[in-house]
Copies of this chain bind each other. A is one copy, B any other.
């Protein structure tokens, strides 16, 4: 049992977690509950991913490896993604089974691969930029054959929000200002680029551009404001 816990612990510690969870992470071997498991990372490739999605994933994933050939020493870092934000916190998998156990992250609530949001995010270690490769499934329709403006907004909020969390710690969206330029066809793969524009005390300003995979078409441009908050506020305190 100890060796299993040690292995789980190592995996958990090696897992890349947002900065606000630092200090909250305890090695699993010190926990008395033996059934804690590693949550499933939903940002890894699955058979529904298009050729473009896979190619772009590989492009960034290869840059997570440094010149020394070591995973994690490159300029980019792949960000894990679970079906609840709660799972990033200490004991989050267990908490998730106790607190509103049926709740699921909005952008990960559809189990059928490829039907909803398929996405993976990478952050530059220097933290000024975060990219997301997003394949839009057939359950995200708005105008016939195209992605719903709300689904695009959800992805922008997720990418900017994840970026903001890595830069500032716990945050809440205060403003989202989205300009829709060209509709996104259902089934297509697009790239979201989140940029940190400015920080002012508790405020952090971000922008985002959504383009076709080859960068030739701009679909959406947006600005967002995030406010740093306490962890207890995020947990509903």
Contact = CB atoms under 8 A, between A and B. Distances in A.
Interface of A: 84-86, 99-100, 102-107, 109-110, 115-116, 138-151, 153-158, 161, 172-180, 183, 185-186, 234-236
B142 A106 contact: yes
Given A99-B145, A144-B85, A150-B155, A175 B177 contact: yes
B146 A157 contact: no
Contact of A116 (B86, B109, B176, B180): B109
Contacts of A115: 102
Contacts of A148: 105-107, 154, 157
Contacts of A179: 174-175
Interface SS, A side: mixed
A100 B186 contact: yes
Contacts of A173: 149, 180
Given A153-B150, A236-B145, A180 B186 contact: no
A104 B110 CA distance: 13
Which 3 pairs across A and B sit closest by C-beta, in order of nearness?
Answer: A150-B154, A106-B148, A153-B153
Contact of A139 (B109, B142, B150, B154): B109
B186 A175 contact: no
Contact of A106 (B85, B151, B178): B151
A101 to B, nearest CB: 9
A162 B18 CA distance: 38
A80 to B, nearest CB: 17
Nearest to A147: B106
A205 to B, nearest CB: 14
B176 A105 contact: no
A176 B149 CA distance: 9
